[in-house]
A and B are shown apart, each in its own frame.
Chain A
């Protein structure tokens, strides 16, 4: 019974991934590797023998690792204080830190350029931190705020100092979430495209930019397929390593009573020190963008409803389209993601299958958008399901990107449910469904809300895949920004910056909504 339910829960998400990810990617790789019915692997060995390409692979791994470490260093202190303290404006700070996540690289590029951070490895790393702080704050924060502070208090009263308490009590409980966040950040930086090209400049090349060059410019599918396989192998290897670092998952007694109001000077100092690096890093470029968007008397904002250069859409239409797509993508991603996370965390799961599934869910983040986009083109081409030009293809692509976040934010939270709570409920006579409703559902609802906010933000900001997908005139905001910025002239730049600022604020609002306390938290916090 439980097994049948699990199979059912897993079937939907896995079918989705098989159809919309494995199939297209497999097809485009096959196109590159199979010639006249036989597999030609020499392009793979060519890649490995070419010292230039080996260097590209090495640089890709190095910059991603460096960026991940830097992101964790900046974001974890902020996450700590945001999870531990209750203070006025807390939700606003979380919303602020989420905003960069949705901004198209091309716009962020303009901000970093005007700040003089460009054309170096430092620029690449700083930009990656800027974009990914949100990932850590959200994914780790979801677990951190659920930690029972009484365990820490116990350690403290037994004489452990703050450092020892953190290392022996807090860190082990957080490790799965930190690894989860780190994996996502690593994947993002590993396949990062715009940041490398725009902020790194032409001297820097990663596997992703090489795949783009080979596919988009040279149409050399053999080399592109070989590079994609190298990319996949590296990604799977990194994720596998991350999996071994996760460590034993500890169950956590759920209380959200942990947020304190920072009253002492020491606590306030801690708050400031934890938040400042992340906030400064995010506020400066965002502020620069907003200020520049107000140039020329704010004309960028006053012309939003007019159609520019005769295109059949106005910036306002793009905003509406983006919101529609975000809603649909969020519904699909949260539905599939929660189903999968629930199945993965049911007691008695088979560990290997679960780990493989989690890996599979993450893979779309590790595969080039060009590869997926071109894969879509060659598989969904049979009427009546010629999905290639359908409106649905965009939310589907966004779901692929959002799904890993939903699963990764939800799994640690669900896994942390103390099985004794379920046992207790069962012992008191509750059936399996009732146990789930009483113990799991409140936690699931809470996780779903956080995940939904994130999924919506991802969809609003997704650019790489969207640009490669063919469809009729449904332009999303990031694509509209890109089109404005590819024309000379002041009004085009103004409109692009105005749209970027609006996108930023829109995300802030979505994130703020996600930060409102759920009923579960309120209930727990008011509990004596």
Chain B
């Protein structure tokens, strides 16, 4: 079985070389000074910033994106005996325990990590380096509430009040990362009584859809490209600035508002993969992610917040983003232990 595929693939490659030669060349990235970053689909960095890294260190970067955060991490776990790359970016606090338990990273203390606030350094074992922060918050359609002279809700408890009946749409935590984060927010807020809160939300007409796209573009009335009619949706603290940034022409006020008392904090980490072919390049890349240059690039690329205090923010962020003063948090260990049972409980309460 080991020889035949080899022969076959070589033959096919030769036979078809003529058709795809222009593109086939892109496949080989294994030159001496190339570091490979494994990440999820939402990763983005601007070209000049990546070029600056290559100029500073001599390392070129090859980026492998695959699937959402969960899929990307699971692929890394499945391939840990023969890693796909050298560094990984995009493990968040809901998946951190799994990554550490599966020992996909080697220990590395990145230069500059000391400047990151202690609350964000969630890996005491020193394998995963925090790179960015995002907050999952309920977003509100300002126009809807203004038109009806209805006060925009403020807290999780408000969402269960009768005046906000049939207004909220959430994502299924089994298939959606913001969906899970919002369930985690309710666990952090209500403790053991969190399932009762969902009973109240269900009785108040909460709608659950599969993923963020269906919720935000499909059900939410405040999104620019939306066909929906519900004015409250679980999304991100940076969705309002994104609405402004991606509008043509940009409006002077954001059409939506993130409710700062409904937010759950997600921290994303990077690490050097165990068994990496180019660990030096991986370490250099992670160091670079904690430099001001990269940190300042992230907001408009990935719509997340930098972890380095004092990083200059783009104007759409300072003007329109909600910075939750005291977001809900849970320890990665707690999330790792309970996520499956939360999902089961939530499914039983809300869907059945």
B41 contact set on A, CB distance < 8 A? 467, 482-483, 486
The answer to whether B62 touches A472, judged by C-beta atoms less than 8 angstroms apart, is yes
The answer to whether B242 touches A321, judged by C-beta atoms less than 8 angstroms apart, is no
A470 contact set on B, CB distance < 8 A? 38, 64-66, 75, 84
| Known contacts A332-B12, A472-B26, A487 near B303 by CB under 8 Å | yes
Stretch at the interface among A235-243, A382-390, A514-522: A382-390
Q: With the chains together, A23 CA to B9 CA distance in Å?
A: 14
Q: Answer yes or no: B193 CB below 8 A from chain A CBs.
A: no
Quote the shortest CB–CB distance from A183 to chain B (angstroms). Answer: 28
Q: Answer yes or no: B213 CB below 8 A from chain A CBs.
A: yes
CB-contacts of A115-166 with B (<8 A): 118-119
Chain B residue at minimal CB-CB distance from A494: B225
The answer to whether A309 touches B174, judged by C-beta atoms less than 8 angstroms apart, is no
Q: Answer yes or no: A106 CB below 8 A from chain B CBs.
A: yes
| Known contacts A374-B75, A378-B78, A201 near B210 by CB under 8 Å | yes
| Known contacts A16-B8, A197-B210, A491 near B44 by CB under 8 Å | no
| Known contacts A106-B213, A487-B242, A377 near B79 by CB under 8 Å | yes
For B, the interface residue count at a CB cutoff of 8 angstroms equals 77
The answer to whether A489 touches B243, judged by C-beta atoms less than 8 angstroms apart, is yes
Q: With the chains together, A493 CA to B82 CA distance in Å?
A: 38
Quote the shortest CB–CB distance from B105 to chain A (angstroms). Answer: 16
User: Which one, A213, A310, A327, A497, contacts B46 given CB within 8 A?
Assistant: A310
User: Which one, A311, A377, A390, contacts B27 given CB within 8 A?
Assistant: A390
Stretch at the interface among A59-67, A215-223, A272-280, A434-442: A215-223
User: Which one, A331, A467, A472, contacts B67 given CB within 8 A?
Assistant: A467
Q: Answer yes or no: A429 CB below 8 A from chain B CBs.
A: no
User: Which one, A296, A324, A490, contacts B23 given CB within 8 A?
Assistant: A324
Q: Answer yes or no: A253 CB below 8 A from chain B CBs.
A: no
Q: With the chains together, A110 CA to B227 CA distance in Å?
A: 8
The answer to whether A216 touches B70, judged by C-beta atoms less than 8 angstroms apart, is yes
For A, the interface residue count at a CB cutoff of 8 angstroms equals 77
Q: With the chains together, A15 CA to B12 CA distance in Å?
A: 12
The answer to whether A489 touches B211, judged by C-beta atoms less than 8 angstroms apart, is no
Chain A residue at minimal CB-CB distance from B73: A219
Chain A residue at minimal CB-CB distance from B28: A390
The answer to whether B84 touches A19, judged by C-beta atoms less than 8 angstroms apart, is no
Chain B residue at minimal CB-CB distance from A468: B67
The answer to whether B27 touches A489, judged by C-beta atoms less than 8 angstroms apart, is no
The answer to whether B66 touches A488, judged by C-beta atoms less than 8 angstroms apart, is no
The answer to whether B20 touches A391, judged by C-beta atoms less than 8 angstroms apart, is yes
Q: Answer yes or no: B175 CB below 8 A from chain A CBs.
A: yes
User: Which one, B5, B23, B44, B49, contacts A321 given CB within 8 A?
Assistant: B23
Q: With the chains together, A391 CA to B224 CA distance in Å?
A: 36
The answer to whether A15 touches B8, judged by C-beta atoms less than 8 angstroms apart, is yes
Q: With the chains together, A474 CA to B236 CA distance in Å?
A: 28
Q: Encode contact with B along A321-333: 1 for CB under 8 Å, 0 otherwise.
A: 1001101100110
B81 contact set on A, CB distance < 8 A? 381
Q: Answer yes or no: B63 CB below 8 A from chain A CBs.
A: yes
The answer to whether B224 touches A490, judged by C-beta atoms less than 8 angstroms apart, is yes
Count of A-B contacts with CB under 8 A?
A: 201
Q: Answer yes or no: B45 CB below 8 A from chain A CBs.
A: yes
B151 contact set on A, CB distance < 8 A? none
| Known contacts A202-B172, A213-B174, A328-B16, A388 near B71 by CB under 8 Å | no
The answer to whether A197 touches B79, judged by C-beta atoms less than 8 angstroms apart, is no
The answer to whether B68 touches A216, judged by C-beta atoms less than 8 angstroms apart, is yes
B279 contact set on A, CB distance < 8 A? none
Quote the shortest CB–CB distance from B170 to chain A (angstroms). Answer: 10
Q: Encode contact with B along A72-100: 1 for CB under 8 Å, 0 otherwise.
A: 00000000000000000000000000000
Chain B residue at minimal CB-CB distance from A395: B20
Q: Answer yes or no: B318 CB below 8 A from chain A CBs.
A: no
Quote the shortest CB–CB distance from B32 to chain A (angstroms). Answer: 15
Chain A residue at minimal CB-CB distance from B236: A488
Q: Answer yes or no: B340 CB below 8 A from chain A CBs.
A: yes
Q: Encode contact with A along B221-258: 1 for CB under 8 Å, 0 otherwise.
A: 00111011000000110010011011110000000000
CB-contacts of A185-215 with B (<8 A): 197-198, 201-203, 209, 212-213, 215
Q: With the chains together, A114 CA to B6 CA distance in Å?
A: 49
B340 contact set on A, CB distance < 8 A? 218
Q: Answer yes or no: B323 CB below 8 A from chain A CBs.
A: no
Q: Encode contact with B along A490-512: 1 for CB under 8 Å, 0 otherwise.
A: 11111001000000000000000
| Known contacts A113-B227, A391-B26, A489 near B246 by CB under 8 Å | yes
Quote the shortest CB–CB distance from B177 to chain A (angstroms). Answer: 9
The answer to whether A110 touches B79, judged by C-beta atoms less than 8 angstroms apart, is no
Q: With the chains together, A472 CA to B243 CA distance in Å?
A: 29
Q: Encode contact with B along A370-413: 1 for CB under 8 Å, 0 otherwise.
A: 10001001100110011111111001000000000000000000
A18 contact set on B, CB distance < 8 A? 4
Quote the shortest CB–CB distance from B44 to chain A (angstroms). Answer: 5
The answer to whether B29 touches A472, judged by C-beta atoms less than 8 angstroms apart, is yes
Q: Answer yes or no: A460 CB below 8 A from chain B CBs.
A: no
Q: Answer yes or no: A453 CB below 8 A from chain B CBs.
A: no
The answer to whether B9 touches A387, judged by C-beta atoms less than 8 angstroms apart, is yes
User: Which one, A114, A217, A331, A482, contacts B19 given CB within 8 A?
Assistant: A331
B22 contact set on A, CB distance < 8 A? 324
Q: Answer yes or no: B77 CB below 8 A from chain A CBs.
A: yes
Q: Answer yes or no: B116 CB below 8 A from chain A CBs.
A: no
The answer to whether A198 touches B19, judged by C-beta atoms less than 8 angstroms apart, is no
B1 contact set on A, CB distance < 8 A? 23
Q: With the chains together, A309 CA to B301 CA distance in Å?
A: 5
The answer to whether A489 touches B213, judged by C-beta atoms less than 8 angstroms apart, is no
User: Which one, A197, A321, A472, A493, contacts B225 given CB within 8 A?
Assistant: A493
| Known contacts A388-B84, A468-B66, A472-B27, A312 near B224 by CB under 8 Å | no
Q: Answer yes or no: B74 CB below 8 A from chain A CBs.
A: yes
User: Which one, A106, A217, A482, A488, contacts B70 given CB within 8 A?
Assistant: A217
The answer to whether A468 touches B209, judged by C-beta atoms less than 8 angstroms apart, is no
The answer to whether A471 touches B9, judged by C-beta atoms less than 8 angstroms apart, is no
The answer to whether B216 touches A488, judged by C-beta atoms less than 8 angstroms apart, is yes
B175 contact set on A, CB distance < 8 A? 197, 202, 209, 212-213, 217
What are 21 A-B pairs at a CB distance below 8 A?
A: A119-B209, A201-B209, A215-B74, A216-B67, A216-B68, A310-B49, A324-B20, A324-B22, A325-B23, A377-B84, A382-B82, A385-B9, A389-B84, A471-B64, A483-B41, A485-B213, A488-B216, A488-B235, A488-B242, A490-B248, A493-B224
Nearest 5 pairs between A and B by C-beta? A489-B246, A493-B225, A490-B224, A310-B46, A391-B27
12 additional A-B pairs beyond A377-B79, A472-B64, beta carbons within 8 Å, are: A19-B5, A23-B1, A113-B228, A119-B209, A216-B68, A324-B22, A385-B5, A385-B6, A392-B27, A467-B67, A487-B242, A490-B246
